[in-house]
């Protein structure tokens, strides 16, 4: 089945409310959408939403890349060769994971629709559903408790709390959160590279009774090996995020073992094919997987879910990025039931353009 057209467009989308992490505050997000149309009229949808401060590519650059002659030359090619086209894209757009991801996701969606199967069925779904964490940005203790109350009423059972500006305030926040919700929530934290090793050890010691499930990227990129000085009893809950951009990094940290968990984001590793390479390395190193996201469309969130549920070593998901959008361009993809994310069994990623 031939590709007859490709289309791309950049769209700025408002967030339901601004949020703050250790190095920035956001009130809207720009997303780069990509479409692959087949001769039978089927359309595969992709989306790029890279974090420029993490991977060095902005969404504006992604949109420009998707308008190049290289991409336009997909027209006339056979969607059955989608993996070859993704491979070529990864070579051509080296170190541009947002561009790679938009192409990768659209090609997977188009191929799945052409074949009449979901992408999860193509790779072999192993997990039915997992509870996603819902993220609370950096806020006061009172605002954090207020958000937690609201999320509990919506059925969420796992919180990810952004930290990293002041370790003493962070400790107070987590202790009070645990006091108010001793059994209702599983708590994960993300200092977003905001801690020193001394801060991290202080935080761990002060929150022992809070039973933190995961601590995501506590130290800055480049300081990973300092984590080897953390008590081995807590090393298994340390998770690599900004440090883990590609399969090469996954292999390096599989050897040195500063992290017990890998955070895979399609926007860091260039889509599903890059994600599967990291997942395979992690599996053979007995490292669990956590699948995260940026502020993203349902399109790429669903793509991450399909990939996550096809990996036996997936233990955690944090795929709440589309919940932050005040609008989206598609519907479908997944269903949220009591905090658990379920993918549908429709062809491709099961998304429909509004």
pLDDT at 20: 63
Instruction: With CA atoms as reference, report the closest residue to 309 among 323, 284, 289, 293.
Output: 289
Q: Are residues 110 and 127 in the same domain?
A: no
Phi, psi angle pair for 67, to nearest 5°: -100, 5
Percent of the chain with pLDDT over 70: 97
Find the mean pLDDT for residues 27-31: 89
Q: How many structural domains is the chain composed of?
A: 2
Q: Are residues 105 and 133 in the same domain?
A: no
pLDDT at 16: 84
Among 116, 132, 151, residue at a domain's last position: 116
Find the mean pLDDT for residues 319-325: 93
- Three-state secondary structure readout of 73-132: CCCCCEHHHHHHHHHHHHHHCCCCHHHHHHHHHHHHHHHHHHHCCEHHHHHCCCCCCEEE
Q: Are residues 185 and 85 in the same domain?
A: no
pTM above 0.85, yes or no: yes
Please tell me the distance from the alpha carbon of residue 316 to that of residue 129, in angstroms, as a whole number. 10
Q: Are residues 110 and 29 in the same domain?
A: yes
Could you tell me how many residues make up the chain? Answer: 354
Find the mean pLDDT for residues 223-233: 95
Instruction: With CA atoms as reference, report the closest residue to 274 among 287, 286, 259, 291.
Output: 291
* Residue 224: DSSP 8-state: G
Q: Are residues 174 and 240 in the same domain?
A: yes
Among 88, 116, 144, residue at a domain's last position: 116
Tokens 């017990």 -> residue: 260
Find the mean pLDDT for residues 112-135: 98
Q: Are residues 125 and 109 in the same domain?
A: no
Q: Are residues 106 and 128 in the same domain?
A: no
Q: Are residues 71 and 140 in the same domain?
A: no
Q: What is the CATH number of the domain that holds 194?
A: 3.20.20.120
Percent of the chain with pLDDT over 90: 93
Q: Are residues 107 and 129 in the same domain?
A: no
Q: Which domain holds residue 72?
A: 3-116
pLDDT at 174: 97
Q: Are residues 239 and 315 in the same domain?
A: yes
């Amino acid at each position: 089945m031939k590709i007859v057209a490709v289309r791309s467009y950049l769209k700025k989308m408002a967030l339901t409310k601004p949020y703050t992490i250790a190095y920035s505050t956001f009130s809207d997000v720009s997303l780069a959408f990509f479409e692959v149309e087949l001769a039978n009229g089927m359309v595969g949808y992709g989306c790029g939403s890279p974090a420029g401060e993490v991977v060095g590519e902005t969404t504006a650059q992604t949109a420009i890349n998707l308008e190049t002659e290289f991409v336009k030359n997909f027209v006339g090619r056979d969607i059955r060769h989608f993996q070859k086209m993704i491979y070529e894209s990864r070579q051509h757009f080296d170190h541009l994971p947002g561009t790679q991801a938009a192409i990768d996701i659209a090609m997977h969606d188009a191929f799945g629709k052409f074949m009449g199967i979901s992408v999860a069925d193509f790779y072999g779904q192993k997990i039915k559903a997992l509870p996603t964490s819902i993220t609370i940005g950096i806020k006061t203790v009172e605002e954090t408790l207020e958000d937690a109350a609201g999320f509990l009423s919506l059925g969420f059972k796992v919180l990810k709390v952004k930290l990293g500006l002041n370790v003493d305030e962070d400790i107070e926040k987590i202790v009070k959160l645990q006091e108010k919700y001793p059994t209702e929530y599983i708590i994960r934290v993300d200092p977003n590279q905001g801690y020193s090793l001394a801060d991290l050890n202080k935080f761990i010691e002060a929150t022992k009774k809070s039973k933190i499930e995961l601590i995501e990227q506590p130290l800055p990129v480049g300081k990973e090996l300092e984590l080897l000085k953390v008590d081995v009893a807590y090393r298994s809950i340390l998770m690599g995020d900004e440090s883990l951009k590609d399969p090469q990094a996954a292999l390096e940290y599989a050897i040195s073992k500063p992290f017990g968990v890998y955070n895979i984001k399609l926007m860091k590793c260039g889509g599903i094919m890059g994600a599967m390479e990291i997942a395979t390395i992690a599996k053979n190193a007995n490292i669990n997987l956590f699948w995260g996201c940026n502020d993203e469309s349902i399109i790429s969130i669903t793509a991450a879910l399909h990939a996550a549920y096809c990996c036996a070593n997936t233990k955690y998901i944090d795929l709440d990025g589309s919940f932050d959008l005040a609008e989206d361009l598609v519907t479908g993809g997944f269903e949220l039931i009591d905090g658990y994310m379920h993918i549908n069994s429709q062809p491709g990623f099961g998304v429909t353009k509004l």
